[in-house]
């Protein structure tokens, strides 16, 4: 099983971006005085998280049917999605 190089690159970049934004957000929240900007800052990792989720979904969509089924069953969310898969 091989993912196409471009798809794998997007997954890696999205993961690095998500982890960087997450650690940066935690650092800024810990070292800043509380005000209304903290609420906005707390939601900052949502956008990179959505990018990561969509790039992983795109990577799964590029696999053939058997490999996709194996990946979904092995993933932690497989127990949630398995009853609804065809």
3-state secondary structure of 86: coil
Domain residue limits, the chain: 5-77
Please tell me the predicted confidence (pLDDT) of residue 53. 85
Please tell me the predicted confidence (pLDDT) of residue 8. 82
Please tell me the predicted confidence (pLDDT) of residue 19. 94
Residue 21 pLDDT level (bands cut at 50, 70, 90): very high
Please tell me the predicted confidence (pLDDT) of residue 81. 54
The DSSP result for the chain, as a single string, is ----HHHHHHHHHHHHHHHHHHHHHHHHHHTS--SHHHHHHHTTTHHHHHHHHHHHHHHHHTS-HHHHHHHHHHSTTHHHHGGG--
- 30-82 pLDDT, tens per residue? 887 788 888 888 888 999 999 988 888 888 788 888 887 777 777 776 555 55
Sign for the CA dihedral angle at 21, 76, 74, 65 comes to: negative
Please tell me the predicted confidence (pLDDT) of residue 46. 92
Please tell me the predicted confidence (pLDDT) of residue 79. 58
């Amino acid at each position: 099983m091989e993912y196409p190089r471009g798809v794998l690159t997007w997954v890696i970049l999205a993961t690095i971006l998500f982890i960087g934004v997450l650690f940066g957000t935690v650092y800024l929240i810990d070292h800043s005085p509380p005000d209304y900007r903290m609420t906005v800052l707390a939601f900052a990792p949502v956008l990179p998280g959505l990018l990561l989720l969509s790039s992983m979904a795109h990577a799964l969509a590029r696999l053939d049917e058997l490999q996709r089924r194996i990946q979904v069953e092995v993933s932690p969310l497989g127990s949630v999605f398995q009853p609804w898969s065809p």
